């Protein structure tokens, strides 16, 4: 058993897709860090949407989960419909938590909307990556 199997990653991202993914991921994480006063809290955002940082956790968590896992999935060749099912699971889970489970939480439709927004933006990004930002992995065609 000294022969390696085929690589799991059937596709590799284009340079622009990989870099933009990291920038978007870092941006969503910076928004998450902005929940606490400090360097990542932008006054311009507070001026535009006064309660933004009280709801941004749901947006960031939903975006980071779907974009992080989904990016790996599309590189592995997982069908986009399966990523859509994961997105739907996140949306339903977010809505159920915000409306049906008041454990350590108050019912907040704005939080739910931010979570749905983060999920939709992540799915839109993954759709773009899957359509235009991937190329076949030349090593994936090699069979030991």
Q: What is the pLDDT of residues 74-104, one digit of tens each?
A: 999 999 999 999 999 999 999 988 888 777 7
Quote the pLDDT of residue 5: 59
Cα separation, 118 vs 58, in Å, equals 7
Quote the pLDDT of residue 6: 60
Quote the pLDDT of residue 86: 96
Quote the pLDDT of residue 114: 92
For the four alpha carbons of 111, 95, 104 and 66, in that order, the dihedral sign comes to: negative
Cα separation, 80 vs 58, in Å, equals 23
Residue 62 has pLDDT above 60, yes or no: yes
Quote the pLDDT of residue 46: 79
128 CA to centre of own chain: 13
Burial string for 116-125 (b: 16+ CB within 10 Å, else e) reads: bebbbbbbeb
Residue 142 has pLDDT above 60, yes or no: no
Chain length of the chain:
144
Instruction: Specify the higher pLDDT residue, 26 or 47.
Output: 26
84: tokens are 């859509």
Cα separation, 53 vs 83, in Å, equals 28
Quote the pLDDT of residue 99: 85
Instruction: Specify the higher pLDDT residue, 72 or 49.
Output: 72
For the chain, what is the mean pLDDT? 87
Of 29, 109, 99, nearest to 61 (Cα)? 29
Contact 62, 94 (CB under 8 A): yes
* CB proximity list for 114: less than 8 A, separation 6 or greater: 55, 56, 58, 59, 62
Cα separation, 86 vs 94, in Å, equals 12
């Amino acid at each position: 058993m000294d022969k390696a199997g085929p690589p799991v990653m059937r596709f590799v991202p284009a340079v622009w897709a990989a870099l933009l993914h990291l920038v978007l991921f870092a941006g969503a994480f910076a928004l998450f860090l902005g929940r606490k006063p400090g360097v990542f809290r932008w006054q311009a955002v507070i001026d535009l949407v006064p309660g933004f940082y009280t709801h941004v956790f749901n947006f960031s968590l939903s975006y980071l989960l779907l974009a992080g896992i989904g990016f790996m999935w599309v590189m592995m060749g997982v069908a986009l419909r399966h990523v859509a099912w994961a997105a739907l699971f996140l949306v339903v889970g977010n809505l159920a938590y915000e409306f049906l489970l008041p454990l350590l939480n108050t019912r907040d439709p704005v939080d739910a909307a931010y979570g749905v927004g983060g999920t939709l933006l992540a799915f839109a990004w993954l759709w773009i990556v899957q359509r235009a930002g991937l190329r076949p992995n030349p090593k994936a065609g090699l069979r030991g």
